Amino acid sequence: MAIIVFTRLIGIALCGEPRTAAASTAHEAGLRMQASMGLLFLLCFTGGLAPVLLLTPIALVVPGLDPLLAAALPAAYAAPMWIGRTGALLVALLLLLIFISRRLTAHNTPATAPTWGCGFSFPTPRMAYSAEGYADLAATSLMPESLQPSATGGRAVTFFPGPALLGLATADPFLKQLCEPLFTKFAVSCSRLRRLQSGNLYLYILYIFVTTGLLLVWTALRSG
């Protein structure tokens, strides 16, 4: 399922044929955005390969927050570094393979073609897969019925069809079948308490007095 999601996002949404004029002029983010994302990537990458390097700045903050955690930090410095070294070695090997591949293919001019051209001479965005068409098999065959999207409208099944409208809605079963009925009943029950807020001052004093009395009885029973 994760493979389908990522290939749908990258292959259809990001690398597919542009369907609008605005999408055809899309470009990469600016240098400042790339620099900020690169900094976050380096921090996450360093924390994954060598978390010990991040313990020193953390130790400057933690003692004022949690003494027990601060006392446990020195023992973390003695943790084995073989996991980080192994990861760094694998990353270096991957970079070396990328460098060798680039060198070997440097003299070859890559041919360009539409992402989902499929051998057509003059492909258009209408020939490309849509996100719904790409995920249709997984949505209708692999997923349980409670997670399948509900369709409104119809699909064209004739030659040279005219305009048609198809709508798909995927509802969250946890939200629809559990949360919404539960909170709806809770809201209806709470709305009945509005009768106490009728603007009658004597009624306000009465239920405040009753509530205070019940709290005093409960406190006396607990202390006894």
Instruction: Encode pLDDT of 143-182 as tens digits.
Output: 777 777 777 777 666 777 777 777 777 778 888 888 999 9
Q: What is the largest CA-CA distance in the chain?
A: 92
99 pLDDT higher than 60: yes
Q: Is the pLDDT of residue 191 over 90?
A: no
**DSSP H/E element including 222:** helix 201-223
More confident residue, 111 or 42: 42
Per-residue pLDDT tens for 125-142? 777 777 777 777 777 777
Q: What is the percent of the chain where pLDDT is above 70?
A: 84
- Quote the CA–CA distance of 218 and 224 in Å, as a whole number: 10
Q: How confident is the model at residue 43 (pLDDT cuts 50, 70, 90)?
A: confident
Cα separation, 22 vs 24, in Å, equals: 5
Question: Can you give the residue ranges of every domain in the chain?
Answer: 2-19+31-149, 173-223
pLDDT of amino acid 97: 94
State the pLDDT at residue 112. 72
User: What global pTM score does this model have?
Assistant: 0.44
Residue 80 confidence (pLDDT) above 60 = no
pLDDT of residue 40: 93
Q: What confidence category does residue 217 fall into, taking pLDDT thresholds of 50, 70 and 90?
A: very high
